[in-house]
A = this chain, B = another copy of it.
Amino acid sequence: MQTTKPELYTVLSPALLDLYPVEKSIVVIIDVLRATSTIATALYNGAKAIIPVDSVAECIRIGKQIDSITAGERDGQIAEGLEYGNSPFEYPREFIEDKTLVLTTTNGTKLLHMALAENAKAIITGSFPNLSAVCDFLVAQNQPVILGCAAWKNRVNIEDTLFAGAVIDRIGKHFSINCDSSQMAATMYHDAKEDLFEFMKVKNASHYKRLTGFGLEKDIRYCLTPDGANVLVIYKDGKLVV
């Protein structure tokens, strides 16, 4: 019996999403530094749900309506009017368990809303801390997949591409891949996998420079390490949950 493998595409920037068959695909939102890493971590540590919003004002508004914690940064600082930042280390179990987090992130949330508007079959978030959970889910679902890199203001970035490559490296054989972006992501990951942090440093990745400039080297190392918060994060009714 011949079986047809589902298609897998990598979308390197939100500006390219509409070129791909979103409606029939599971879309993985990838915003490695640091949104989707922090989301996985907070949920792994027992957060009840995370509400992703695309502006500080919306974050404040929802924070007033429901019992929740508001969080988000602008230019490396906790945004005015919010309580916490974007670092995964701000959300240990003793703090976040059973709480709802309203998180504003620019790039990841934008892509998530685009996937939603285009009627994605399902939306999950992906990051190195929950790499295995993402891979296991995608293989089990056996549906078409879009690995959606959140990028930086639509500019392609290395770290989201590397995560797409890591997924392809692990589970690409289960999919039909006719997609040069996927081949590029896999090639990048192959070059980088021995030491992702060092690769980011050597390649002078824009986000590496930006975050180390804010003293966040520890965050970067955590966000590039697999399975530190290995839960599947899925978007349901406006919330990210496990």
Contacts and interface: CB of A to CB of B under 8 A. Distances in A.
Nearest to A178: B206
Given A178-B206, A180-B206, A206-B179, A19 B154 contact: yes
A184 B184 contact: yes
Contacts of A187: 187-188, 191, 203
Contacts of A209: 178
Contact of A156 (B155, B184, B204): B184
Interface string A178-207: 111101100110010000000000011111
A178 B156 CA distance: 12
A15 B15 contact: yes
A221 interface: no
A161 interface: yes
A101 interface: no
A13 interface: yes
Interface in A129-187: 153-158, 161, 177-181, 183-184, 187
Given A13-B13, A13-B15, A180-B205, 17 more contacts: A13-B16, A15-B16, A15-B19, A16-B154, A16-B155, A16-B156, A155-B181, A156-B181, A158-B180, A158-B183, A161-B180, A177-B204, A178-B209, A179-B206, A183-B205, A187-B188, A188-B188
